[in-house]
Structure 1
Amino acid sequence: MTNKTKQQRFAAVNKLIKIIATCGRCIFSENADKPNNVENPFIASMEIDGCGKVWFTDSYTRKCIYILYGYSWRYFTHGGIKRLVEFFRNHITRGAQIKSDCFDLGEIGTHGNTVRIY
């Protein structure tokens, strides 16, 4: 396993967020659960400030949310995927791996890419 830098992990997480935002229910996208999709939707992202702190930019409120603390995040509208955002934060800051048992990969290859996040 390679030891990636914080910037590399940051870039990889944002790439994954973009992929998730363009598939299925468009989680992390302005188009999440909307009947009519916006042509160029705003997509959530992780940010690193000048001090090295990790923030999450919410796709609905478009606000930067400081996500260090485990309790309520003001302006966070993604509800059930807070745990996933915490996994992303821990991966960026500490290099912690996201456990595969958090995902049900369904029948990839047979019926397209099906991923469920627990």
Structure 2
Amino acid sequence: MENCDVIVTLGALAQTTRLDVFRLLVRNEPNGVAAGEISRILAVPPNTMSTHLGILSRAGLIHSKRYSRSIVYRADLKRFREMTLFLVADCCGGNPETCASVIADLIPCCPTKEEANV
């Protein structure tokens, strides 16, 4: 990922409604949420929501799939991961002990299958 890619991605998230949309979609992975439902949940008019969804989509943070008359949106967690890794790639000047707490906080809230079996 390059600087300009990260700037576009962060810029897409630098607005309240778009940040709320992205967080809603992350919470609803892997099923996604229909565009109309996103609009209803966040109380945003459909035409305004369409603009926000377009910006997030062009930034690569979400993608959509049509199912009959509905368009279901999902967060692109791979893209989000790439951006996050880009931001922390040079964390603490190569001193992993200094970055340990940052890395620990980045561990997802959902345990892997191996962690759940412990």
TM-score range, shorter chain: under 0.3
TM-score between both structures, scaled by the size of structure 2: 0.25
Bigger CA radius of gyration? 2
Greater relative contact order structure (CA < 8 Å, 6+ sep): 2
More helix by share: 2
TM-score between both structures, scaled by the size of structure 1: 0.25
